[in-house]
Amino acid sequence: MHESEFLQSNSVVVQGRAGVLLVDPGITRDEMAALAHDLRGSGRPVVAGFSTHPDWDHVLWHGLFGDVPRYGTSRCAASVHGLLSHADWQARIAVGLPPEYAEEIPMDLLGLITGLPAGAARIPWDGPEVRIIEHQAHAPGHAALLIEEHGILVAGDMLSDILMPFLDLEAADPIEDYLAALRLLESVADDVVAVIPGHGSVGGAEQVRARIEQDRAYVVALRDGGVPDDPRVGPSAPLDWLPDVHRWQLQQLARRS
């Protein structure tokens, strides 16, 4: 695993027989180049990539990783391809980039994802079985990955210890989508010895269900219009802008009702 300076973003490297599977590489040009050099120097070329969802910080790539298959779910690929179909796609993405990193984020290979067949259950590569657990919660076609023989759950933008749930507010039923996704992750929790969120700290086996319960409590509080007892959005929030995002999510949900 490699942790970026930006928002504790985690890239995951899975060792295969001929090389490695690289999940959600990022974030800056120099970070990705350093990761590529480390992998090559240890004789582990990148043979495949996977993006857990179509947000810009999860569909990045660097030429030093090589021209290899980069996968995502069919809905993930459709979403990012839809964005790239606009002539001004770079400007659309630039609006959401963190200003302090904007010049360091390579855009030339962003989003070149091959969508796997709808309902695909495994990543096609020569390495450990990696189960795709697709759900609709944070973003279209979002997927967690379970590296079964090692019990590692790569959670994408779910189960973070520093970020509360960010709902896909363009979905028809974002609350139920998120709760259903948590139930799906809960169904594999007994097989997990460590969870790696897209942003935040790695959690051990005891953390998996605890994070699921914390996220469920937050989403239920959003649904009921209550005040969540959640340190991620309280006075001691790890990032000072998270309470504002929480209030914005409440406002958006209220407008839908």
The conformation of residue 235, written as its DSSP 8-state character, comes to: T
Can you tell me the distance from the alpha carbon of 83 to that of 89, in angstroms, rounded to the nearest whole number?
6
203-204 and 46-50: which strand pairing?
Answer: unpaired
Can you tell me the distance from the alpha carbon of 32 to that of 104, in angstroms, rounded to the nearest whole number?
11
Contact 145, 182 (CB under 8 A): no
Beta-strand (E) ranges in 116-254? Answer: 130-134, 143-147, 152-154, 194-196, 203-204
Q: How confident is the model at residue 9 (pLDDT cuts 50, 70, 90)?
A: very high
Q: What CA–CA distances, in Å, run from 93 to 28, 43, 55, 70, 137? A: 15, 34, 9, 20, 21
Over residues 130-165, the pLDDT tens digits come to 999 999 999 999 999 999 999 999 999 999 999 999
Task: Specify the pLDDT at position 198.
Answer: 97
Taking all residues of the chain, what is their mean pLDDT, rounded to a whole number? 94
Contact 59, 51 (CB under 8 A): yes
Tell me how crowded residue 160 is: count the other CB atoms within 10 A of its CB: 26
Task: Specify the pLDDT at position 48.
Answer: 98
Can you tell me the distance from the alpha carbon of 215 to that of 239, in angstroms, rounded to the nearest whole number?
17
In the chain, the amino acid numbered 118 is A
Backbone angles phi, psi at 225, to 5 degrees: 70, 20
Can you tell me the distance from the alpha carbon of 62 to that of 38, in angstroms, rounded to the nearest whole number?
14
Task: Specify the pLDDT at position 22.
Answer: 98
Tokens representing 98 are 């963190």
Contact 256, 167 (CB under 8 A): no
Task: Specify the pLDDT at position 1.
Answer: 86
Contact 165, 181 (CB under 8 A): no
Q: How confident is the model at residue 226 (pLDDT cuts 50, 70, 90)?
A: confident
Name the 3-class secondary structure at 200.
coil
Mean pLDDT of 68-97: 95
Over residues 158-214, the pLDDT tens digits come to 999 999 999 999 999 999 999 999 999 999 999 999 999 999 999 999 999 999 999
